[in-house]
Amino acid sequence: MKTSSLLPILLSAGILLGGNGLQVTLVSVRANIEGFPPELIGLLGTAYYIGFASGCFSTGRLIRRAGHIRVFGGLVALAAVGTLALVVWIDPVVWIVVRIVTGFCFAGLSMALESWLNQTAKSTDRGRVLSLYRVVDLFAVLGAQFLMPLFGAGGFEVFAVVAMLFCLAIVPMSLSRHASPPPPESGSLNLWRVWLISPVGCLGCVTIGLTNSAFRTIGPVYAQEVGLAVSQIAAFIGAGV
């Protein structure tokens, strides 16, 4: 496996997932600053995962119809627009809708990135490639947290930075000299078959999903309520990552 064939995908993944990791924390912090009640902030987290779950069932068809790079570019653009909408309209209903749309986008973006990686990697290298992808993901999310104290959580600038990161994520994949993989001919999501293959793995995913989503959504609010500064909130969430 040549590293050069993976580098554009991993660069795009790092920029994109770092931006999303920053946005998850930022939404909770800014919602609390704007006076949204904790129940509503929790609902914003739920809205994201509703969108993500729906995207898991539907964005595969988009990739089959339009291909990896077109779907990637389109969903990144939609996620960037949604990020800017959050700061243009400080309204709970708008924020819930935007978080649903963002979750949908990131389901498709994750599918495009990970299926591209899977098709690029050889069978003997796939485990190492996916491990490297997760390392890039976690370090990008960790580092991006500290952009929030740098730009401040109360203004427009940090939302613009998130939107810029999303847009920049298109560049490495678009300019890569390696062709994108052909769209899959078919594919479906069979949850029962996944359960039969690995019940323990499924239970682990559910448990991690429940705890991680709650921590990432409500953790920043808790940190604010106990009096931590924005830089300390970034460190608190980064430690959890």
Lowest-confidence region among 4-8, 19-23, 52-56, 179-183: 179-183
Task: Compute the half-sphere exposure of residue 158: CA atoms within 13 Å on the CB side of its CA.
Answer: 23
pLDDT for residue 147 is more than 60: yes
Q: With cut-offs at 50, 70 and 90, classify the pLDDT of residue 128.
A: confident
Q: Is the pLDDT of residue 187 over 70?
A: no
* Ordered structural domains, the chain, with CATH: 3-173+188-240 (1.20.1250.20)
Distance CA 213, CA 42 (A): 10
Nearest to 174 by CA among 12, 16, 14, 17: 12
Average pLDDT over residues 185-200: 76
* Residue 186, CA distances (Å) to 60, 75, 105, 107 in order: 9, 21, 21, 18
**Residue 182 phi, psi dihedral angles, 5° rounding:** -65, 150
Instruction: Specify the pLDDT at position 118.
Output: 80
Pairwise CA distance, residues 195 & 205, whole Å: 11
Query: What pLDDT score was predicted for residue 229?
Result: 87
Task: Give the pLDDT score at 16.
Answer: 93
Q: Residue 184's pLDDT band (boundaries 50, 70, 90)?
A: low
Residue 63 C-alpha from the chain's centroid: 18
- Note the pLDDT of residue 179: 67
pLDDT of residue 106: 93
Q: If you average pLDDT over residues 114-120, what whole number do you get? A: 80
**Which candidate, 9, 16, 8, 41, places its Cα nearest to that of 162?**
16
Mean of per-residue pLDDT scores for the chain: 86
Distance (Å, whole) CA 137 – CA 11:
10
Mean pLDDT of 230-236: 85
Q: Give pLDDT, residue 79.
A: 94
Q: Is the pLDDT of residue 176 over 80?
A: no
Q: Which band of pLDDT confidence, cut at 50, 70 and 90, is reported for residue 231?
A: confident
The pTM assigned to this predicted structure is: 0.87
Say yes or no to pLDDT of 2 above 60. Answer: no
- Is the predicted pLDDT of residue 158 greater than 60, yes or no? yes
- pLDDT score, position 198: 81
Kindly tell me if the per-residue pLDDT of 186 is higher than 70: no
Average pLDDT score over residue span 196-219: 82
pLDDT for position 3: 60
**C-beta of residue 151 within 8 angstroms of C-beta of residue 158:** yes
Q: How many residues are present in the chain? A: 241
